[in-house]
Amino acid sequence: MIERISNYRHIIWDWNGTLINDVWLVVEIMNKMLNKRNLPGIDSNRYREIFDFPVTRYYLKLGFDFSLEPFEELTVEFISEYYERFNECKLFDKAEEVLKEISDMGIGQSILSASKEDVLTEKIGYYAIGKYFCRILGLDNHYAESKVDRGKKWIAELNLNPQDVLLIGDTTHDYIVSKHIGSDCLLIASGHYSYERLVKSGVDVVSSLKEIIQV
């Protein structure tokens, strides 16, 4: 896999569920919210089957009623605890090793995330991996909306042939972003989508981040 990556000049990374293992925290917080409203809880397997973009679709699948509670209020409830506890999360096994190996190959790297950009930058600093990225790109809100527009602007700024860029993520939304910007895509099935959902997209899928550098 690393030999394939050597064919690219730049890697665009997703963050949540790709480099940072946060699914367990998402499920834990969401179950507190569901229990509070007498709604059925979920486990990580169920979560990976129903999580979706836009996130409003996922909340509706969980049983939330936006006529009773606006999505914006629910998001604030979720995100406040998520950010408060985020430092409990750890990078995926071999994450920094992968980043370093790609960097040593002279390939540029950046992050494109649906997270709020200022918080994203702060968290990447906390994990001391900012040195591997030339840019950290997030959104200007915490509603986890589409990354397509941000991705289009970034690919233009990179001034590279999109075919020389590889986007690595963990959801089919990352694949959609890659199609919009014209880059190739590699998906990792240890994040927010199940392996089965990712494979259906027809894109290359690996089971874990460490597979990228396994010989």
Q: In the predicted model, what is the mean pLDDT of residues 125-136?
A: 96
For residue 198, give the amino acid letter.
L
Beta-bridge partner residues of 16: 20
- From residue 178, alpha-carbon distances to 123, 167, 173, 184, 187 in Å are 24, 6, 9, 6, 11
For position 109, what pLDDT does the model report?
98
- The total number of residues shown for the chain amounts to 215
User: Residue 145 pLDDT > 80, yes or no?
Assistant: no
Angstrom distance (rounded) from CA 212 to CA 6: 11
For position 1, what pLDDT does the model report?
58
Residue % of the chain over a pLDDT of 70: 95
Q: What is the pTM assigned to this prediction?
A: 0.92
For position 19, what pLDDT does the model report?
97
For position 127, what pLDDT does the model report?
95
Q: Domain segments of the chain: what residues?
A: 2-21+91-212, 23-88
User: Residue 129 pLDDT > 90, yes or no?
Assistant: yes
> 2-21+91-212 sits in which CATH class?
alpha beta
Q: In the predicted model, what is the mean pLDDT of residues 171-186?
A: 95
